[in-house]
Amino acid sequence: MTSQEKKVRKKQMKKAVKSVKTVKDVLVIARYVVKATGYVVYRVRSSNGVDEYCTTLDASGKATGCTCPSIKPCYHMTGCEALEAQRRAANTASTANADAERRRTAPLQGVNRNGGFRLLK
């Protein structure tokens, strides 16, 4: 193998490692919210399918730590950050929908609003 070939091979290997890292999905077992602080804790399954780790996010949804042994930020942190962002986006959307529904079905809707006062005449 020439040195040129070695260089190319090294580059390809680097690329392969990178793409594997981004493919990894975080498997969430549970999600806890610490109401006093707003911190969110995700219990996640390790990539070996046996161990469990805790990934913590602060109130703004930014990952602050993970109990896994890999170099931080690990894929659990980035994965949980993404999940939390998705969750918050979905939550604000559904809250807006519920609010619109509540207004639409409010008791005064469809009732003659002057009805109550007409009796006073």
- The nearest distance, CB 98 to Zn ion, in angstroms, is 34
Side-chain-side CA neighbours of 64 within 13 Å: the count stands at 10
68: contact with Zn ion by CB under 5 A = yes
Interface with Zn ion (CB under 5 A), residue from 57, 66, 80, 83: 66
Query: How many binding residues for Zn ion (CB under 5 A)?
Result: 4
26: contact with Zn ion by CB under 5 A = no
- Binding segment for Zn ion (CB under 5 A), chosen from 11-19, 22-30, 60-68, 89-97, is 60-68
What is residue 45's three-state secondary structure?
A: strand
Name the token pair of 78.
């980035």
- The nearest distance, CB 9 to Zn ion, in angstroms, is 30
Q: What is the DSSP secondary structure assignment for residue 111, as one 8-state letter?
A: S
Q: How many whole angstroms separate alpha carbon 29 and alpha carbon 111?
A: 49
Interface with Zn ion (CB under 5 A), residue from 26, 63, 74, 80: 74
CB count within 10 Å of CB 61 equals 16
Q: How many whole angstroms separate alpha carbon 76 and alpha carbon 70?
A: 10
Q: Segment 76-115, which members bind Zn ion (CB under 5 A)? A: 76
Q: Which residues bind Zn ion (CB under 5 A)?
A: 66, 68, 74, 76
